[in-house]
Structure 1
Amino acid sequence: MRQWRNIPSVLLYVLSFLLLLEWIWPIKVLSETADISVFLLFILICFLISFLRVPLYVSIFIKGAVIVYFLHSLYFEGSIFQIDWIPTFMDDIKSNMIDVFSANFLELSHLYRSLAFFIILWMIVYLLEFWLFKRKQIFSFFFMTLVYVTFLDTFTPYNASGAIVRIVLVGFLTVGILTFLRHLNKEKIKAEHTAFRKWVFFLSSWVLLSAFLGYILPKANPIWPDPVPYLKVFNVNGTMKKVGYGEDDTQLGGSIAGDSSVVFQTIVASPHYWKVETKDVYTGKGWIQSEDELRNIEFRGNDHIPITSFVKGSNYEQSVPQTSTVLQIKGYPHLLYPLGVTSIQSDRSYSFELDPSTEKIYSFKGAESLPLDNYSLTYEVPYYTADMLRTNGSVNKADLNGSIMSRYTQLPDNLPSRVKRLAANITKEKTNWYDKAKAVEEYFKTGNYSYSLNDVATPDEDEDYVDQFLFETLQGYCDNFSTSMVVLLRSLDIPSRWVKGYTEGKYIGMEGDLYKYEITNNNAHSWVEVYFPQVGWVPFEPTPGFTNEDAANTEEDDERIETESSVQPEQQEEKEINESNQAINNEKKENKNHSASNRGNIVEGMFSQGWIWQLLLVLLLILTVYYAYHIRVKWLPAYYIRKLKYSDKDESFLYAYTVLLKQLNRVGLTRDTGQTLRDYAKRIDERYSTNEMTLLTRRYEQYLYGNQLKHDTWLEMKELWENLIKKTIA
């Protein structure tokens, strides 16, 4: 009876399909994949083709056609028979292949990722069939499935409690059936369906009983500690992290790697930094947000944003309104905005919420937080004089809002005293907040400290992050410099806060009379804002090599700085030259711009969409190599024929005969123990209805017993050898 018609084969196909499903279910939870039904349907088609024993070339054609059909239905409109979509499809594949070889996995398109996933599933189904019906072993895949699911259960939001039970039940049943079939083959027994049904019933009963007892019986507490905290520590201390925005800043430090993934583009009248949020509580290791009980503030587009950046009063210089436009690429649900933002112009169907404790703005469509593709922001560009800030920095602290002083001068109780002494020493000749803040800012640019993304230390449990940087390592990136400046200022009772966001980015061209910039993860950054009474929050940039245009808007005399809008026509040429030079400097600086803000949970980092597809691509490569190895019986003969085609050395015959023996062994024609070469040759000739193996063996025996080869042996035997080795792949 043919394989596809017997009951064990049907049952094995069903069980293997159920086992493979456990690899698919988590994808919807861990990635942005909205619908996995097409992948499940493709798996069913692959199993059905294998089940029906469809010829190889027909099988390849059907599976390829199904993949193309599914991809067309997912990513293209119109009929599949309209060939206008094919050039787009091919261009996408070509460009993504370049990204693959360049290791830009995060840049891969959804179409290409889906194609890669279909191919991976194709390879897995082939391997399952090989393990089930050739090797009659499934334990390796069963074990890998358990490890995969338990790993996801430990380190991701995926709950694998039910999955583990299902895997154990299906896996034990499959292993038991394969064990039964192996024994039948070994003993060369032909079992009837009645015996098999009894075996399956007995096996199923024991597996179900064991699972039931495991569920109801009392269980001891875990004896292994939770590995997640240890891996988090390892992630901080032992691995290279990538730059980019992240919400978790509780543990700063450690080396980081660049990431040129584009986050957003901007169209601006003049370049400026982009804020995301602020944090106010320094813990000695990093930053957290104070637990305010303030509720998020809702507002609509064009409404005044309830952020107080400046305090307009008698001493406040008139601000200049400007507008910037953001084109989102990354698709964050939060907004990016400049200092002094006043309103948002966007799609009317969106509303907004402000977290007043962090000044982080979220976009909403209905009740769901969704990213905006593009939006514009109106903001005020303040210009303050140094004398104004010196005057405001000399006021009596009692005149300040008490909540501002308590909130923005907070420091941990165990801050080393030498940090405070250093702050006092740096500012000992200064008498006002502004001069003290400038002195601290300039202190980091004197040459004692170096900017570096590599070999950046992380404080031990008994060390303070700022203290370690100021007195021991003297090397770091923006988080080190900005956090240290805030701590030094707070030790002088100057209210200041830590700000996260992005630098202006890289100049990429003009958009009419406006400038267009591209901002990548490499541009993620952190800086400092200091509070001055009757003025508001003023930015400072302590990181060497960086310039915040907002921080540069302070004059050293009473003369007002001209704004971008006041540039006269005769100054336009000089302005464009300066902007061009700035664009060049920005491009050079891009590789240095960074942030250590991506301190997100190791789970979220590892199983973000980019990592999922990187793992799938690696799996595809492994499966491809594995597939090529297991079908070597098909392609190795062609390789050896080509290799020996132009050889005229008699010694090539000996090598070719050995290759032939190995190939025969691969196709299942194994030489029995103690069987002579002559008897083995007769068996091969009977199998292929030829006498070529006998002729080849006689010539080989002449060499074995005579210890010499007849002249032109290989030339005489080459055709016989080629004919026979080709028959092994027919």
Structure 2
Amino acid sequence: MITLRANNQWNMSRFLMHVSGFLLLLEWLRPLINITNIGRLDIFVIFIGICFTLSFFQIRWQIAIKIVIILFIIHSVYYKGTFMNPSWLTVFFSDISQNTSLLSQGNLQDISAVFPTFLLFLVLWFLCFLISYWVVRQKRGLLFLVLTIIYITTFHNLHLYNANHAIIRTVVIGFFMLSLLQIERIQMIEHLQNYSRHISKLLRPLTMFIVLSATIAYFAPKFGPQWSNPMTFLKFDTSTASKEVEVSKIGYGMDDSQLGGPFKPDDTVVFTAQTQNSQYWRVETKDFYTGKGWEVSEEPKKNSFKSKNNVVTWYESNTKTDTAVATINMQKSYPHLIYPAGLVSVETVSENVSFSIDPFSEKIYTMKEGSSISLNKYKVTYEIPQFSTENLKAAKKDEGMETSPYFMTKYTQLPKSLPQRVRDLAVDLTKDKDNQYDKVLAIESYFTDNSFVYETEHVLVPKKDQDYVDQFIFDTKSGYCNNFSTSMIVLLRSVGIPARWVKGYTEGALDNLESDSVYKITNNNAHSWVEVYFPGYGWVPFEPTKGFSNPYNFIKDAPASGSQNSEVINPNNEQIQQKNNETKLKNLIENTEEVSAKKITNSKKEFSWWYLFLSIISMSIIGYILFATRMKWLTFFIILFYKYRKDDAVYPKAYAALLKQFARIGIPRNESQTLREYAIHVDMLYNSTDMQKLTLSYENTIYQKEQATSEWRKSIQLWEQLMKKAASLPKSLDFDVGI
């Protein structure tokens, strides 16, 4: 008997083909993990590794083993108790039933994580089977390699996945796999024996070529995403298992611990301000950089004041200030003040209103009789600073607050994980500067002079082991205010200059419908900037974000000179012309709102990646079922097509269809074989004489064509039986494909 198992011995070639299939499938999994709510990669890697191991060793009962493994992994991740206690299965099947119902209703937001995890296991099972069948058994790998490259490059060009290294890995693995398959085909064609021990010699020159090509590709410059994202309307669902994609925000929000990601514009008016001066509007400051975002290092404290601010100050004695007044009309309700730096006092219409300020974050809460309230209207008196650049250059180090080790530790803090190249860059930028002001200006201008881009849509979230600032400065160079301001602060702290992160709103745009100087501030004006401490002068604001300019006055001559014609300059002179038209600020949107991307996708009119993901899963399952049962339904249609025909030409066509059916299952007729020889070969495999009987009948019709119709009528049942036999392999040719 001829067996296919003899041709699939446990040799090195089959092992390497299984390893190649595993590595290519892993490349399919990486981007999928990044854009869905399935946050764990390890469990799926383990599963596909087990699938390929079972296929390589041709273990029996593979279906049962894989089912047990899937259930075991799902239990360990999502359920409590012991796996052997079957009570958890009741809960599991109930979850699957409920989630299936939610899916049918289109309610994707309430689907639990266990459901897509289970579906992904089924898809990976199907893909493992296909790879084992096409690559290992059919010796065809080019199509799968091409599909893999198209798959990952599509995600790359849609700004969803950085595939620079993935492309190199895929091509290297693919070329190696195709080489193995070509050697296998040569062995089969030439009928080579015991060639396994020579594989290493055959692969040496090819391996050297692949390694050389991969090395060149690795060090060569790489293009970023080349497409303008055509699917910006797509939103990505998230869960706690994949927090990295939850960081897209709009407007003002409290949580800044995970910065990054794209955001959506929102021109909702937050407040209007009637004032003669334009300045930034503060909400709070943060001092502790985590490597991913900002936090407040101290537990919040509440220091109260009635109307006059006697808790915090921003400017010290050497800073010249003028007094101004602004009237704030809130359009959105917040239990805190939005105020300018230099706040002196607050006046409200309501009685018994007090203010509670956290001196660490400088966030001012509005209170009434011990409870939080939201003010609709209030008036603030504040100081407008005027900074002399000459005096700032002359400011001495290690004076004022810098004499406090606590202060310096707090505002020069950096995580130990900060890459050394960030610190080295800061030293390089400031090495030729002999005073703190010029050092600050050198770092601020670095983001203007270099190839940084203000971008709100195609902004990547740092990977788990990637620093937020390092990614922006050295990898993407594309982002918005959070990227620019955070990066400047980290560079300043790297050379020992105390700095802090401030968030709030830009000055907004003048409302042309109002006769007075009324500025309209929207969610699009949400912003973050930098404050640097100068001894004797206090906290001085700086603006590194491309497209923005500092609204505060920096005077070239020292104030003591008394010159009335002092030249007012701005650290971002190159940006001032872009800033003159206030209405342009509507298009300069910032990312700090507490409305996550998950909530944005609640709109039923918006298309969700979940629909695409679940559609792919459904089509994959249907495709798997059709593929697994292809011989049965194909046989059914062939029989239906020929069985009831009575014309003279049907017998030759039906017999030819039978030969094709045998060829599909791996029993082709050789060109040198006669029909009778082939019939004997088939009957030997199936241990019968049916094929010989049918062939004898068919040969009679060849020589006596007038009997074709009568012979067909006599042989229909025999032909049908053989067609059904041809729907499955005989035992002697049984090959365990391990689905």
The 2-side partners of 1:673 and 1:279 are apart by: 86
1:172 positional shift: 1.7
User: For residues 698 and 162 of structure 1, do their structure 2 counterparts lie closer, same or farther at Cα, with a shift above 3 Å needed?
Assistant: same
Q: Give distance in 1, aligned partners of 2:151 and 2:355.
A: 47
- Give 2:560's aligned residue: none
Q: Give matches, 1:346-385, under 5 Å.
A: 379-380=372-373
Q: Is the 8 A contact 2:635 2:723 kept in 1?
A: no
Matches within 5 A, 1:24-35: 24-26=29-31, 29-30=34-35, 33-35=38-40
Residue 125 of structure 1: how far off its partner (Å): 1.1
Which residues of 2 match residues 183-332 of structure 1 at below 5 A? 183-214=186-217, 227=225, 231-232=228-229, 234-235=230-231, 247=249, 278=270, 295-296=285-286, 307-308=336-337, 316-317=349-350
Q: Structure 1 149/649 Cα, relative in aligned 2: closer, same or farther at 3 Å?
A: closer
Is the contact between residue 136 and residue 182 of structure 1 (CA under 8 Å) also seen in structure 2? Answer: yes
Q: In 1, Cα distance between the equivalents of 2:136 and 2:179?
A: 14
Does the 8 Å contact 1:696/1:721 carry over to 2? no
The match for 1:476 is: none
22, 27, 45: which is aligned to 2:27?
22
1:47 aligned to which of 52, 72, 89: 52
What's the C-alpha RMSD, in Å, of the aligned pairs? 5.3
1:692 counterpart (687, 690, 693)? 690
Match of 1:128 in 2: 131
One-letter amino acid of the structure 2 residue matched with residue 295 of structure 1: T
CA distance in 2, matches of 1:342, 1:657: 92
Superposition map of 1:497-576 within 5 A: 497-499=521-523
Residue 129 of structure 1 aligns with an amino acid whose one-letter code is: S
Which residue, 601, 614, 618 being the options, matches 1:617?
Answer: 614
Q: Kindly indicate whether residue 46 of structure 2 is the aligned counterpart of residue 13 of structure 1.
A: no
TM alignment of 1:306-455, pairs within 5 A: 307-308=336-337, 316-317=349-350, 379-380=372-373
Conservation of the 8 A alpha-carbon contact between 1:319 and 1:382: no
Aligned to 2:461: none
For 1:722, the equivalent position in structure 2 comes to 721
Q: Could you give the per-residue CA deviations for residues 292-328 of structure 1, whole angstroms, max 9, x where no partner exists?
A: 79624958689589822799998724599xxxxxxxx
Question: Shift of the alpha carbon at 1:709?
Answer: 5.1
Q: Could you tell me whether the CA contact under 8 Å between 1:152 and 1:158 is conserved in 2? A: yes
Following TM superposition, by how much is the alpha carbon of 1:200 offset from its aligned partner in structure 2, in angstroms?
A: 2.0
Instruction: Write out per-residue CA displacement over residues 376-410 of structure 1, whole angstroms, 9 at most, x where no aligned residue.
Output: x95436799xxxx9xx9xxxxxx986979xxxxxx
Contact 2:28 2:148 (8 Å CA) reproduced? yes
Return closer, same or farther for 1:83/1:489 CA change in 2, 3 Å cut-off: farther
Q: Evaluate the alpha carbon distance shift between residue 82 and residue 294 of structure 1 in structure 2; reply closer, same or farther with a 3 A threshold.
A: closer
Q: Distance in 1 between matches of 2:58 and 2:300?
A: 62
Following superposition, the deviation at residue 354 of structure 1 comes to: 8.0
For structure 2, which runs of at least 5 residues remain unmatched after alignment?
Answer: 1-5, 238-245, 252-265, 274-278, 288-295, 305-333, 386-507, 526-588, 602-606, 730-739
| CA-CA distance at 1:126 after TM superposition | 1.0
Tell whether the 8 Å contact from 1:696 to 1:720 is kept in structure 2 after alignment. yes
Which sections of structure 1, spanning at least 5 residues, go unmatched?
Answer: 250-273, 282-288, 321-339, 345-350, 360-376, 393-398, 405-483, 502-596
Identity %: 22
The alpha-carbon deviation at position 147 of structure 1 amounts to 3.7
Q: How many angstroms does 1:70 deviate by?
A: 0.9
Q: Shift of the alpha carbon at 1:46? A: 0.6
| Deviation of the 1:114 alpha carbon | 1.0
Contact kept? 1:131, 1:137, Cα under 8 Å: yes
| 1:681 aligned partner | 679
User: 1 CA distance for matches of 2:660 and 2:120?
Assistant: 35
The answer for the alignment partner of 2:569 in structure 1 is none
Is the CA contact (8 Å cut-off) linking 2:282 and 2:338 kept in structure 1? no
CA distance in 1, matches of 2:515, 2:697: 94
User: For 1:668-692, what per-residue CA distance to the aligned partner results, in whole angstroms no more than 9, with x for missing partners?
Assistant: 2223448665554344334323221
- Offset, 1:91: 1.9
CA contact under 8 A between 1:169 and 1:207: conserved in structure 2?
Answer: yes
Alignment check: 8 A CA contact 1:318 1:383 kept: no
Matched with 1:172 is 175
Query: How has the CA–CA distance of structure 1 residues 295 and 654 changed in structure 2, closer, same or farther, with 3 Å as cutoff?
Result: same
Query: Are 2:139 and 2:185, in contact at CA under 8 Å, matched by a contact in 1?
Result: yes
The amino acid across from 2:23 in the alignment is L
- Aligned position for 2:416: none
Is contact 2:156-2:225 (8 Å) kept?
no
3-state SS, counterpart of residue 115 of structure 1: helix
Q: Is the 8 A contact 2:234 2:609 kept in 1?
A: no
Query: TM-score with structure 2 length normalisation?
Result: 0.50
Quote the Cα distance in structure 1 between the aligned partners of 2:695 and 2:362. Answer: 86
Tell me, what secondary structure is at the counterpart of 2:228? Answer: helix
> 1:117 aligns to what SS in structure 2?
helix
Cα distance change of structure 1 residues 131 and 313 upon mapping to structure 2, 3 Å threshold: closer
1:185: how far off?
1.5
Cα pair distance change 1:709/1:13, threshold 3 Å: same
Q: Provide the rounded CA distance (Å) in 2 between the counterparts of 1:341 and 1:107.
A: 40
Provide the rounded CA distance (Å) in 2 between the counterparts of 1:628 and 1:598: 48
Residue pair 1:650, 1:709 contacting (<8 A) in 2 also: no
| Matching residue's letter, 1:179 | Q
Q: Secondary structure at the match of 1:231?
A: coil
Report the TM-score when normalising by structure 1: 0.50
- Per-residue CA deviation, residues 352-377 of structure 1 (Å, 9 max, x unaligned), is 96889xx9xxxxxxxxxxxxxxxxx9
Q: CA deviation at 1:5?
A: 1.6
| Per-residue deviation, residues 152-208 of structure 1 (Å, max 9, x unmatched) | 455557554444333333222111111111122223333523322211223222322
Residue type matched to 1:725 in 2? Answer: K
Give the letter for the 2:717 counterpart.
K
Instruction: Report the residue type matching 1:316 in the other structure.
Output: V
2:558 corresponds to which residue?
Answer: none
